[in-house]
Chains A and B, each alone.
Chain A
Amino acid sequence: MVCGRIFIMELKLALVQMTTQLGNVAANLEKHLYFIEQARKQGAGLVVFPELSLTGYVLQDLAPTVAHRPTEDDPIFRPLLEASHELDLMVGFVDEDLRHRFYIASAYLSGGRVIHVHHKVYLPTYGLFDEGRFFAWGDSIRAFDTRFGRVGMLICEDFWHASPPYLLWLDGADLLLLSSASPGRGLNHGEKFESTRWVEQVTRSYASLFTIFVAHVNRVGYEDGLNFWGGSVIFDPRGEMVAQAPYHEEALLVSSLDLNLLKRVRARLPLLRDERTALVQRELMRILQSERTLG
């Protein structure tokens, strides 16, 4: 049988479920390098870190002071780019553009280069969240090619909305890298926090609906009274759980993903083949032009 595109068909994926020091980028960088080394020893090909892993989450007025440009001459990114010669990395940071707008961002590094940067497009500014006050809104959702196939990155609230994962799916992503700093909330008689249940439900759904791999890396630790619940998880294109890290504890979760599963699942379940994007576009245009727009 003749193969088409030649990619590595096994991905050893490492999720780093860590806590951070709030606003102490140098200390957080050290921790990244430590976990990268641990993951390397276990043969990982890609290591992913949670949302704002280099800075901590509730930054408020710290945001401008912890921002970095993902370039070789940046003292924080230089060692990370060096490490990316051996294995691919996804890290969370505050990106500052040339006109000094600050973004919650994820960068994908490989072979000493920045392959892609995603700016968070949905900034929760309600309830306990106040991101829109301190950060600029990202404005694009793009998949990108890696040595493990095409990948899409989203950050927390981005995947509380259904459209960003859908767009990445159509843009060719077979692996979604989702990162969070998700505070546990909604304690009741249930086994987990309400927020945990909700996130696990939607991340698994994306794997099932799109027949793709979904990895969700969530941080742990506390910032003032907020607890971050961890439970980082990988789902395969059948929606089955491949592995999950414990709740509320630091962990390095390394799993082997059989990327050939994409082919086997889609041969059985051709949801991608049958997706009617032109119909979606037509109806979306009609809805947006009609009187009852989504806003």
Chain B
Amino acid sequence: MRMLDTLLMAMQAIVRNKLRSFLTTLGIIIGVASVVAMVHLGQSATRSVTESISSIGSNLLFVMPGTSQRGPGGVRTNAEPFDMNDADAIQNEVNGVLVAPGVTATVSVVYGNANEVIPVQGTNNNYFAVRNHGLSRGRQFTDNEMQAGAAVCIIGQTLAKEMYLNEESLGSTLRVGRTACQVIGVLEEKGQSMGQDRDKTILMPVKAVQRRLIGKLDVQSIFVSALVDGTTRRIQGDIEKLLRQRRHIAHGEDDDFYVRDTRDIADALEQTTNTLTVLLGAIAAVSLLVGGIGIMNIMLVSVTERTREIGIRLAIGARAKDVLMQFLVESIVLSTLGGLVGLIIGISGSWLAAEKLNMPFVISPGIMVLGFSFSVGIGVVFGYFPARKAARLNPIDALRHE
């Protein structure tokens, strides 16, 4: 018997039972679609995380007081805060770094009738480079403004849009806390990153925030950017050594501050999303398996239903292997079609979802090939048992079957 005829015979049987064929493949369609969609979405999420982390600033280290470990005692809060001297020391004593201090105050900001509570960041001109966040218009702080702690501010895009609507914000006066503050610049748009709207912020000189908003000389965090790629490890060590010295931490005692590399955060997040991808993929794979069992179920019913047909075929000279091939090819064609449809649905579904969730869409040929070949494999494995049952029928029993 010619292979092409076997294939045609299987196709005819499938077309003759359109609804049943569709229901049979539905399991495979859903299985392949969910595997492909889950893995694609997972990879899109991973990509989205990496991209948002690189947008925070490359080669960026966060230095904060306290300990990074959360134990039974919670976060250590009695750690002494930094001040500007610490930031200056890092800038001056560690090689190849750019330092921006971060003094945060969350205060209400008023312009005209608009009123919002916004995190205000006291920093210096290094911020733009360190945090990878430039100006879209206006100017940076002048040395005089830095030294005097002048009431000037640079606002993020969200503010520029929401509070000023379409009015020009440059040169206007904004009330920040109890201070009237002149807008000298607007930051470029940055979007969401790690759950924060980076455009909803106000930058002011360090001293302005310290004196006018919080009334303390504390610096809550220090952002350090490595000027040369691949030096963050060395810099992290240098900063730790320097700060231990400055904070008089005895040998063997734990740090009461921590230096965190954004790369580490990125790695941790990436690992999390990767684990999630694997988990989701595994769950989806189970549904693919269930789909395969569905095929086997229907093929078994089909063999019973078509026992008489099998008897006729055996009587007119079909060999056992001809019958085996007929049913096997039928189930392979079904599962292959299901795999193809599932692939299309899975890819378009994950593309749509990525679009809606504002994630970059990552196409992954590997999982497409895997999902598709798995569905074909399922056709072989789960089609074999019913096909063998058909092939082993005794011709006369099959013919007498009602």
A and B held together in a complex: no
